[in-house]
Amino acid sequence: MEKLAYYRRRTISRRRPDRYLSLIIVGMDNTKTSLPHFKDRKGKDLVLTIPMKTQVTGAINHDTHQKFIFTDIYHYKHDSNLTLNILMKLLWEASKIQLSFLYVGHTHEDIDQMFSVFSDRLRHTDATTLPGLHQHLYNAQELHAIGCYNVSGWLDPCIAGVKSYSKSNIFRYRYDEANKSVNVYYRKNSEQPWKTLRRGFFKVRPNGLPLLPNSNPPVLMASFHLLDMDVLKRAILSGQRI
């Protein structure tokens, strides 16, 4: 049911790219992209090393058939803020946005096919560094140590108390030009009618206007505290001896 709705939105965007944009964003299984990666060398020294986890996030623009890859080494928290930064790299301006989630267990056929191509390439080649990994990925971009914005923290003081949002899988955000506000609609699945978030998305000022940020979002600094640099250095030395 939800996959059929996904297919329908994807088809509409391809037929009317002047009016609709359809994107899918999914993270790849990171067990296949840890570095260094060797296609067939499984020596004792390599088995005993702890590889550096590398996250690959893929995106497909269904209108233009463009594919994008974003990589990071977990120097940013993997939460809604990371997804927002990726969306900011793909979007320009929209008056209405619909966000939907497939249920756990559903496969994302088109983007999983792209990941399958990557996995097949890595079975036949080495990738010892992040730039080396990028050579085998479509249009890969690294999420640099300085380059992400703290959008969620920037918006948080302005957002009204929204609860139980995890119980819905489809959301629609529509910008109201007249009132300079964002109207939010939600539903459990594509067969149910839309419900309106009565309180609105943003808090309201005493004059009745929505409370909006009055500055640009701050830059989010990378954090490498989850990386054990000593372990990684030993892994590099072990790899050089192989």
Number of compact structural domains in the chain? 2
Confidence grade of residue 194 (pLDDT, cut at 50, 70, 90): very high
Say if residue 119 is in the same domain as residue 49. Answer: yes
Range of the domain at 19: 2-94+103-149+219-241
Same domain, 224 and 198: no
CA 26 – CA 195 distance, rounded (Å) = 27
Within 10 angstroms of residue 198's Cβ, the number of other Cβ atoms is 6
Contact between residue 241 and residue 235 where contact means Cβ atoms under 8 Å apart: no
The arithmetic mean of pLDDT across residues 65-90, rounded, is 88
17 and 79 both lie in a single domain: yes
Same domain as 192, residue 234: no
Are 70 and 189 part of one and the same domain? no
Summarised one tens digit per residue, pLDDT across range 152-177 is: 899 999 988 777 777 778 899 888 88
Pairwise pLDDT comparison (221 vs 72), residue with the higher score: 72
Q: Which residues on neighbouring strands pair with residue 181, listed in sequence order?
A: 176
Residue 15 pLDDT > 90 = yes
Is residue 58 located within the same domain as residue 71? yes
Specify whether 169 is located in the same domain as 67: no
Structure pTM? 0.78
**Which has more confidence, 39 or 203?**
203
Question: What does the pLDDT look like over 89-129, one tens digit per residue?
Answer: 888 667 777 788 766 655 567 888 889 889 898 888 888 88
Query: How do residues 25-65 score in pLDDT, each as one tens digit?
Result: 988 888 888 888 887 765 555 556 677 888 999 999 998 88
% the chain with pLDDT above 70: 83
Please tell me whether residue 30 adopts helix, strand or coil conformation: helix
What is the model's pLDDT at position 45?
55
Please give the pLDDT value at position 179. Answer: 76
pLDDT at 181: 75
- In this structure, the answer to whether residues 208 and 155 fall within a common structural domain is yes
* pLDDT grade for 210, boundaries at 50, 70 and 90: confident
CB atoms within 10 A of CB 68: 19
- In this predicted model, which residue has the larger pLDDT, 156 or 143? 156
Do 76 and 113 fall into the same domain?
yes
Q: Is the pLDDT of residue 191 over 60?
A: yes
Residues 135 and 49 grouped into a single domain: yes
User: CA–CA separation, 218 vs 146, rounded Å?
Assistant: 11
Residue 242: C-alpha distances to residues 34, 95, 128, 230 (Å): 17, 55, 12, 19
